[in-house]
Structure 1
Amino acid sequence: MQLQNVSADVYVDYSFNSIIAATNNVYIADKGCFNSKITAGGNIYINGIIRGGEVNAKGNILVKEAGSETGSKTILQTSSGKIKIFNKIYDGVVVYINNRLLKITGTMGPVIFSNDDGEQVQIKYL
């Protein structure tokens, strides 16, 4: 409770069955996240993959690859930012932006999800 007003980042190489929380940004530097719950008051940067689990940021979420070919339940949620996928996002991933829901129904290449108009989630292919 005493640290709520302190800006703090978290840096890890990877996470497996973990809970990670930061008042500012979270950086996953290497392999990625597996069945983890990650919460950030700022942005989340995942230089690898997110397979299973939930990612929740107030800012942007930038990730190399999300979900899996086997359909492991993966949730990406931001309250005010964008979600940028640099490589692939698989069928079954759930995207929430500003309380708007989008269920991914097929594998997509590099893509940005946003909610600039406040109505529906927009998809922009890179």
Structure 2
Amino acid sequence: MRKGTFWLISLLIVILAGCGSNDFQLELVTPKSFSPDQPSTIHIKVLDSGGKPVTGAKVRVDLNMHMMSHGDVSIKNMKETADGVYTGIAQFEMEGDYTATIQIDDNGKKWTGEKRFSIVSNQGK
């Protein structure tokens, strides 16, 4: 009985791992530093699973600072500036480590992923 349970659990893990398919590949480009009260440009390159640019998608980004509970920064309507490249403006208040939660709607095919990055203030430099 235990051997059958082991195989059943193993099969379930394999099936669940396959369900988490990588429909999109993301490349997040953020500035290394920011100036307080100045906009910072964020770029996201979105590719399909075959490596081709995803054009015409709706892309939203929510930036959340690690270990902090002050307001998040949202970029609701990223603009496509090149094939598969989406650009938006963020207003950083603090330097630190951030998580970018990226939501993609490609003709009804919805996907959410995360990328992490760090940014420092160039104030006083």
* TM-score, normalisation: structure 1: 0.22
Say which structure, 1 or 2, has more relative contact order (CA 8 Å, 6+ apart): 2
* TM-score, normalisation: structure 2: 0.22
